[in-house]
């Protein structure tokens, strides 16, 4: 029987009112762009983040999609889900959705709908760029012509919470990568002329 990780309740955290208010406001409106928590070790920073995720409602996702794509948003699908989406040619060319296609998407046709808990992904200090953004299998692309992408931490954190402890210790280049993805809401990976993109909203 799989063990469930117990999470300290958000409401049980004593004090730290500014921290809790900042996290709640960011959960209400993610366009705020994140929260920077400062404090000594043992001041419940990581506990508060994990506890917050337990308060949030479950999100609707495309089943088995590693990027947790939202089934109802045509403009925010990863490359794989976009290929599998059954929409009419007119909608594809205009990148808009007609009423008929919108109804099919809303019902979850083709892609299906599943519910998941909001993910909390911790970024380790020693993480490499490939571990964060993901990697493209160049050899497979050359041999078979198939584009294969191995998702990274940004994929796992899409539509969830990306928690970075000791952000000041991260490599400057990695910080730039994270800021770019956060600003655009998309993770774009390109290697040797082969590219792949997926939503990265965290």
Q: Which CATH number fits domain 57-199: 3.40.50.720, 3.40.710.10, 3.40.50.300, 3.90.1410.10?
A: 3.40.50.300
pTM of the model: 0.74
Listed in sequence order, the residues at least 6 apart from 69 whose beta carbon sits closer than 8 Å to its beta carbon are: 61, 62, 76, 77, 78, 81, 111, 158, 199
Tokens at 51, concatenated: 């506890």
For 45-49, what is the mean pLDDT?
Answer: 86
Residue 153, pLDDT score: 92
Report for 98-107, 116-125, 135-144, 192-201: range of highest mean pLDDT: 116-125
Domain with CATH 3.40.50.300 in the chain: 57-199
pLDDT level of residue 137 (50, 70, 90 thresholds)? confident
Contact 40, 159 (CB under 8 A): no
State the Cα–Cα distance between residues 173 and 179, nearest whole angstrom.
10
How much is the mean pLDDT over the chain?
78
């Amino acid at each position: 029987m799989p063990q469930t990780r117990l999470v300290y309740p958000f409401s049980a955290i004593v004090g730290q009112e500014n921290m809790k208010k900042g996290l709640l406001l960011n959960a209400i409106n993610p366009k705020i762009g994140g929260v920077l928590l400062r404090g000594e070790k043992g001041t419940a920073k990581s506990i508060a983040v994990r506890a917050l995720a337990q308060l949030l409602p479950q999100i609707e996702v495309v089943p088995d999609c590693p990027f947790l794509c939202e089934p109802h948003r045509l403009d925010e699908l990863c490359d794989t889900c976009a290929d599998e989406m059954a929409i009419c040619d007119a909608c594809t060319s205009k990148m808009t959705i007609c009423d008929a296609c919108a109804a099919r998407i809303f019902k979850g046709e083709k892609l299906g709908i599943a519910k998941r808990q909001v993910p909390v992904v911790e970024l380790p200090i020693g993480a490499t760029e490939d571990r964060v953004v993901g990697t493209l299998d160049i050899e497979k692309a050359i041999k078979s012509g198939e584009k294969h992408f191995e998702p990274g931490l940004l994929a796992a954190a899409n539509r969830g919470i990306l928690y970075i402890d000791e952000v000041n210790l991260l490599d400057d280049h990695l910080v730039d990568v994270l800021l770019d993805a956060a600003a655009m809401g998309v993770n774009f990976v390109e290697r040797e002329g082969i590219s792949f993109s997926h939503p990265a909203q965290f």
